[in-house]
Every structure is written in structure tokens, then in C-alpha cells.
Amino acid sequence: MTRQLGIVQIALAVLALVGPFAAAVVPPAAAAPSAQGLTPAEAVVLAAEGVSGHVSAGQAVWYRYYPSGDATGQPDRITLIFTPAVELGALVSSVNFHIFSSAQVIGGGDLSALAAIGSGSYVSRDGDPNTAEYLWQGTLPGADAYYVRASNNTAVDVDSWLFPADVLRVEPASTLAMGAAEAAPTAPGVDSPQYLPSTQPAVGHLEPGKETWYRWVPVAYTMAPDAHVLTLFFTPANTADSVRVGFELMTMQQSEVRQRGQPNLNTGAGAIVSRDGDPVTGERLWRGNLPLGETYLVRINNGSAVPVDFWLYQGDIERTVFD
């Protein structure tokens, strides 16, 4: 294996076919772009397809990781593969990754002194002396983000590949299995959803049993527990099953896990409120605090027996004027 390998993780849909505990050989068909952040605030999501990167000597890079083990009943797994290993010799153990909770990272303490929840253990399974592999497996509770810090405490730059799965090895591009990219999972019902407007509501119409999706990138970042708010209005709501109209938000990774048997997994959902004094309108409100820069999916569903019109706002809106 050379430093010019074309690398990626196998799509999670393919992993599901071979069993949740199977380790994967990664073809380059579903390649994720190189992405990394030098601070927790810049951390990018450890996507299902994995992330590639270049970690300079003495550098550490950060990722946000949303575990699925607590929801699926299966262990979470993270694999780090990097090269060169021969050049590092005995110092190969000075390149590794560590896992921290959100509370640890945003608590304002010395990041270099944090006690890791978990870290990679050295494994050797691909038969290539110039790559090193580290694997962690366990279960992380809750749906909140965790942080993964990949550190290079050597004097040699390394190229790295980090996967939220048990990956045995990465394959050269010449052995490409093209079918893997076509099998990559997408969020159910999502067809290039548009972004939520920031100053105006998203307005739409839903027939019974239908749903629609939006992308949302929260822009505020504070320690306040209600830094981010979404409000949904819909009409008519004066029917017996209007409680079946609502919205929920989830990460991209959560949407993929939902396809594998966890249909209720999400980051939050709108709660019923009644503040505008109009019995014909329904209102749903969600409050929370979300990491900066994450892209979320917002799903609005009409589970009632009648068509509805809806208005989805960013912010706490007590009443609206329907056009």
C-alpha cells in the first residue's frame, strides 16, 4: 500500500448486508473528501463514509462523532489507519486518536489535559508494514455529539483515514468495487432538500401521509440550553388526529441509522404548544443547543387524514399571519 492510495470506507448499506459485527475492506468508490478541524470549534463530522486527512508533525485534528450503539444495541467502532508506519518505527504508537464527551470539550478547561473516554488500540490486520491501524470499540451513551481527536506526536507528517466502523484495510484504486458507491444509503424521503430560510418561514403544503425535508445549519453557538429554536405552524388543526402533524431534526448520520431499523432516532422533535389563541392552527416548538457548523435534516410530516398547509420558522414565534 502506498501513500497514493485511493481510499474510502465501504458504504454502511453494504456493511449491513454482511452483518453488524463484520470488519470491512474499504474500496474507494464512496470516497469522502478530506476534512478536518484544528480546534473543537472547527471540528467536522465523522461521516459514515469516513474522512481522510493529512496530520502534520506535532499536530492534532478534531472531529465530531455521533454514536449509534446506544440506539442500535450494537457496539460503536472507530478505526484509524495512517501511513507511513515503517518510517516511524517504535514511534508509531505516538499517532493515535482519543474520544471525549461534549461536556469535557466545551467545559473551558485545558484540552491537552483531558482524560479520554476511549482511545484506539493497536491492531495489525492488513499485512502492509507501511500502514498502522488503531481500533476502538465500545458503547457511548446518549445522542449528543462526542469529539474525536487524532494526534500526531512525532516529527513525521502522516496521511490518515478515520472511519466510524471496524475497517480491516483500505484497497488500492486498481481493486475498486464500483457497486459500493451505488449502495450508499441516503436519508429516507430526502431528494436534495433545500436549506431553511433564515429570515422568512419555509412554507408548504402536505397531503395526508406525506412528508418534506429541509437542510438546516444553526448559526448561533452559546452555552444557553435554548440557543436554537424552531417553530412550526400548520392548519387546519381542529381535527381529532392533528397531533400526528409535526417535525423532527436529526444529523445526517442519524438519518442513516434510521434506515437500519431505528425509525425514531433523532436529535429533537417539536412539542405541542398552544399560544396564538386560534383553534384552527396547530403549533409545534423545539428548543436546544446544537454544535456550530453541523448540517441537520428537518423532517415535517403529515400523519393526519387531511391536507395541511405549514409554516416553519427559525426562532420562537408565538403567532403568525397566514397568507
pLDDT digits (tens, 9 = 90+) for 107-122: 766 787 788 888 899 8
The CATH fold assigned to 12-182 is Jelly Rolls (2.60.120)
H-only helix segments in the chain: 12-18, 69-72, 102-105, 179-182, 252-258
Binning pLDDT at 50, 70 and 90, where does residue 180 land? Answer: very low
Can 12-182 and 202-314 be said to share one CATH topology?
yes
Check residues 220 and 126 and name the one with the higher pLDDT: 126
pLDDT at position 261, please?
A: 66
Check residues 169 and 98 and name the one with the higher pLDDT: 98
Q: What is the pTM of this model?
A: 0.48
How far is 42 from 26, CA to CA, in rounded Å? 27
Binning pLDDT at 50, 70 and 90, where does residue 299 land? Answer: very high
pLDDT (tens digit per residue) in 255-297:
877 776 666 778 888 888 888 888 889 999 998 877 766 788 9
Strand (E) or helix (H) holding 170: strand 167-170
Q: According to CATH, what is the number of the domain 202-314?
A: 2.60.120.380
pLDDT at position 236, please?
A: 92
Residue 55, helix vs strand vs coil: strand
C-alpha cell at 289: 443547543
Binning pLDDT at 50, 70 and 90, where does residue 301 land? Answer: very high
User: Is the Cβ–Cβ distance between 284 and 270 less than 8 Å?
Assistant: yes
pLDDT (tens digit per residue) in 72-120:
567 788 999 998 888 888 888 899 999 998 888 877 667 877 888 888 9
Q: Side chain identity at 124, as an amino acid letter?
A: S
Where along the chain do its domains lie?
12-182, 202-314
How far is 128 from 87, CA to CA, in rounded Å? 13
Least confident range of 20-29, 198-207, 305-314: 20-29
How far is 237 from 308, CA to CA, in rounded Å? 8
User: Is the Cβ–Cβ distance between 84 and 3 less than 8 Å?
Assistant: yes
